[in-house]
Amino acid sequence: MKKTLFLFQFKNQLRSKWVYIVLLAICSLSDLMLRFSGDGAKSILSLINLSLFFIPVIVAIQTAMFIYGNREYMELVLTQPVKRGVLIVQLWLAFWIPVALAIFLGMLLPFIYLQEGWPYVDAVIQLSFITNILAGIFSLLAVLISLSHDDKAKGLGVLLGYWLFLSIVYDGLMLFTIQALSDFSLREISLLAVSLNPVDLARILLLMLNNGAALLGVTGALFERFAGTIVGIISISSLLLIWFLIPGWLSYKKFLSKDF
Amino acid sequence: MIEIINLSKSFGTNRILQQISLSLKPGKVTALIGPNGAGKSTLIKTILGLVKIESGSILLDGLSVQDEKTRAKIGYMPQAPQFPPHMTVREIIEFVQKLRVESPHRDMKLLNQLGLQFELDKPFKTLSGGTKQKVSAVIAFLFLPEVLILDEPTAGLDPVSALTFKNRVREESKSGKTILYTSHILQEIEELADELIYLQEGKVVLQIELKEFLSTYKTHSLEQALAIHISKQEAA
């Protein structure tokens, strides 16, 4: 019984077209960026934008559709002698692992089969790893939101709202605040503000790993000055892990007490 | 035997079930009926552990149904079954067998009776609504559960399959199973039910033997008897 739910759903996911569409789409974009830029470093920077902006929202929407679409199935499984916690964890993992593999392979493959990508294989592995963490955070947020809102349209609306806020509005608000309060020292507050947004954390981590903190403006440079590269990388990674665990834990608790 | 004691449930400010107490006896088919929004689905879902109990209790052979181990004794057939779309009927049946590894009995008779042996290697998404319902029926009866909860079970079934299914329900009832049956087709309830529970605005307004109920109003039609009963209640 231990892995039955996971294996059953995993098999179903592997037969689903969607995973292969994600793989092909990311692979094509990665390939095109590498071919047209002719420079692995430039194509990695372009891929960073794709990773931070589009992949999380696509994965989040797909996760929400998965949860809404499997509601009756979850009900049916719960009428069997199955623990609620086991069901949600195995179901999410079975959904998430094929998606994570598709993201990983989609980014990596062109850097392996195109010669100009070879020197950047390490960097693209790092990038796909962090993209998967960020997409995982958004996927878990999507689980939490879908479990909290029975109305699919409302749930998707809330989810898109969160994504817009974390991906676009938050940075705008931060910039506005820093500018408006430029007479004051906002170093610590800026660091705290960055910690509250997984997209910013992922962006800073990616650029720090690629020695691009200088490109980050205020917050990245602050992080580097504040912590130094290694400690900075470790502290940002820990914050990202916390961001991963919080929606995961809340989703788990929500599922345990949910009325279907 | 299932015993429901002082069961109440609210969703927000909506009180869906109010102090429900009833028992479902072995060897009987109990029909659960009532108007839309009466709380039938919530009651069924509470028995199945899908809805958390707010107050009161539901016991199956003295054990709470909120414990997942107790649910091994229940077979459930929902109105609209759903399984992962790319999995075949055979894989779905094997999957449920693995989930119920502790249930020693297997009964595949219904699978053949409903003609599902020819559909075993088809993915679930390619099946018609009626065939999906057959898969759900086979799974509900597969482990010879003590209790069967059948929610609009014949919806979508062709007449021959519906007849086969109803015969099986009768057999199970005779063998001592506790069966809770909901249907909007009153004729079907007349055919199958021994007992009747009428739910209205979250309250049990009637729990009676079907024969006794029909004889009270001197009719053979459940529809007619219910109409008289409800109008009398409203007048009072």
pLDDT at position A203, please? 87
Nearest CA in chain B to A78: B50
Task: Answer whether B99 sits within 8 Å of A82, measured CB to CB.
Answer: yes
For B6-44, the pLDDT digits (tens) are: 999 999 899 999 999 999 999 999 999 999 989 999 999
pLDDT at position A224, please? 64
Task: Answer whether B76 sits within 8 Å of A76, measured CB to CB.
Answer: yes
Helix (H, G, I), strand (E, B) or coil at A35: helix
Q: Which two tokens stand for residue B135?
A: 């898969």
For A77-122, the pLDDT digits (tens) are: 999 999 999 999 999 999 999 999 999 999 999 999 998 888 989 9
The number of helices, as runs of H, and strands, as runs of E, in chain A is 13, 0
Nearest to B50 among A5, A11, A75 (CB): A75
User: CATH no. for residue B215?
Assistant: 3.40.50.300
Helix (H, G, I), strand (E, B) or coil at A126: helix
Amino acid at A104: F
Q: Determine the average pLDDT of the residues in B96-104.
A: 84
Nearest CA in chain A to B98: A1
Of the ranges A105-109, A150-154, B66-70, B121-125, which one carries the lowest mean pLDDT score? B66-70
Q: Per CB distance under 8 Å, which residues of A are interface residues toward B? A: 1, 4-5, 8-9, 11-12, 15-16, 70-73, 75-84, 257, 259-260
- Which residues from chain B sit within 8 angstroms of residue A81, using beta carbons? 68-69, 71-72, 99-100, 102
For B188-209, the pLDDT digits (tens) are: 999 999 999 999 999 999 999 9
- Measured in angstroms, the CA of A81 and the nearest CA of chain B are apart by 5
Task: Answer whether B48 sits within 8 Å of A78, measured CB to CB.
Answer: yes
**DSSP notation for A118-176:** GGGHHHHHHHHHHHHHHHHHHHHHHHHHHHH-SSHHHHHHHHHHHHHIIIIIHHHHHHH
Amino acid at B42: T
Non-local CB neighbours of A188 within 8 Å, separated by 6+ positions = none
- Which residues from chain B sit within 8 angstroms of residue A2, using beta carbons? none
Residue among A69, A40, A56, A205 at smallest CA distance from A132: A56
Nearest to B84 among A4, A12, A80 (CB): A12
Across A26-30, A232-236, B105-109, B142-146, the highest mean pLDDT is recorded for A26-30
Q: Determine the average pLDDT of the residues in A24-50.
A: 89
The Cα–Cα gap between B84 and B99 comes to: 15
The Cα–Cα gap between B129 and B12 comes to: 34
Report yes or no for ipTM above 0.95. Answer: no
Count how many pairs of residues, chain A against chain B, have C-beta atoms within 8 Å.
Answer: 76
- Which residues from chain A sit within 8 angstroms of residue B63, using beta carbons? none
Please count the structural domains in chain B. Answer: 1
What range does the domain containing B139 cover?
2-235
For A190-244, the pLDDT digits (tens) are: 778 888 999 999 988 888 777 665 455 555 566 666 656 788 788 889 999 999 9
Q: A247 or A39: which carries more pLDDT confidence?
A: A247
Calculate what percentage of chain A has a pLDDT beyond 70.
Answer: 93
pLDDT at position B191, please? 92
pLDDT at position B39, please? 93
The number of helices, as runs of H, and strands, as runs of E, in chain B is 8, 10
The answer to whether residue B137 scores a pLDDT higher than 90 is yes
Q: Are B102 and B137 in contact (CB under 8 A)?
A: no
